[in-house]
Amino acid sequence: MSNITEINLSDGRELFYFDDAPGTDRSAVDERGLPAVTSTSERRWDALAGEWVVIAGHRQSRTFLPPTDQCPLCPTRDGHQTEIPASDYDVVVFENRFPSLSTAATGASSLTGRGLFHTEPGHGRCEVVCFTSDHNGSFSQLPAARVRTVLDALADRTAALGRIEGVEYVFCFENRGEEIGVTLSHPHGQIYAYPFVPPRMERIRQSLRDYHETTGECLQCAQLAAEHADGARVVEKGTHFTAYVPFAARWPYEVMIVPHRHVPDLPALDEAERAELAELYPAVLRRFDGLFDTPAPYIAGWQQAPTRQDRDQWHLSLQVFSIRRAPGKLKYLAGSESGAAVWINDIAPERAAAALRGEDR
């Protein structure tokens, strides 16, 4: 387990240093004198879709693609004070200064209670995870020891955020590339603690529940066994994890990384599983980068069990996908996808798996 040091930033937000090794001095103080963070976040119920929508107007003023020397995720150096007071760090997690969800959210529409207009404060928490102090680095190039520290940090924060009253789901993810919509280029991810189970995870939960009620088995375990037997879509296979392109992949290049053991979330992974994952995960990302002449824009998101329900039936997985379908071409969500939620994939999953294995370019 990584070495953890907790401090408070000048506006009261929590920050956690996760160090590869013990003994690092973490006494640096945030001297910026920031005002307390406020959040007007609220969630509104879409009665037709049966889904919550988060409204967070205060985020319009968040930092957007600053120059490198003004990056808020770099260490504090040479007079440039940032979100991280230390002059260097391994992995850092801190409360987002512009959160979509907050335990202190005050937003609540005056329309609440009027017919179909149901609104709740945007309760929850949003955290930023900095993978390295190197502004020009990338997750795929981190040494295994550092990836392991990141995994330990995600597991630790998943457990901590899941204990917050009212949090129903913890989602750890990374967005990389301006094409994806990243507003800060420093290598980092995020953790969202939602006051509800997100729609995609809710559908997965129902599928897992239905399959278990019918067969007494885990659907994710059955799918993994079927992918092993078929083999055409397997990209990487280790002792504890397999990476494969889903049979019904939505995105041009999409991979699921699934543990062989039936576990609900990141905190449940044992030492051997975390050690292998620290090698396999960045290897998969390097395969994405090898597809084209430029680094792949991607989203990597951990599909973990809800914090309080159906945990025994859930099987952890990591979804990694890129919106790039060819050199200089992106997969846009057009009418069918955005309007009807019916995905149309231009690349057969078997061809995508072969390309990721380096067999077809």
Catalytically annotated residues: 188
Listing DSSP states for 219-238 in one string gives HHHHHHHHHHHH-TTEEEE-
CA distance 250 to 248: 6
Longest dimension (CA), the chain: 62
> Tokens representing 144?
């295994």
CA distance 314 to 303: 9
Burial 106-117 (b: 16+ CB within 10 A, else e): ebebeeeeeeee
Find residue 322's DSSP bridge partners.
253, 298
Q: Are 155 and 267 in contact (CB under 8 A)?
A: yes
Listing DSSP states for 58-127 in one string gives GGGGS--S--GGG-TTSB-BTTB--SB-SS--SEEEEE-SS-SS-TT-----TTTTBTTB-EEE--SEEE
Find residue 189's DSSP bridge partners.
129
Listing DSSP states for 154-181 in one string gives HHHHHHHHHTSTT--EEEEEEEESTTTT
> Tokens representing 171?
């989602």
Q: Are 190 and 127 in contact (CB under 8 A)?
A: yes
Using alpha carbons only, how large is the chain's radius of gyration in Å? 21
Q: Are 123 and 105 in contact (CB under 8 A)?
A: yes
23: left (phi over 0), alpha (psi -120 to 50) or beta: left
Q: Are 234 and 353 in contact (CB under 8 A)?
A: yes
Number of helices (H), then strands (E), in the chain: 6, 16
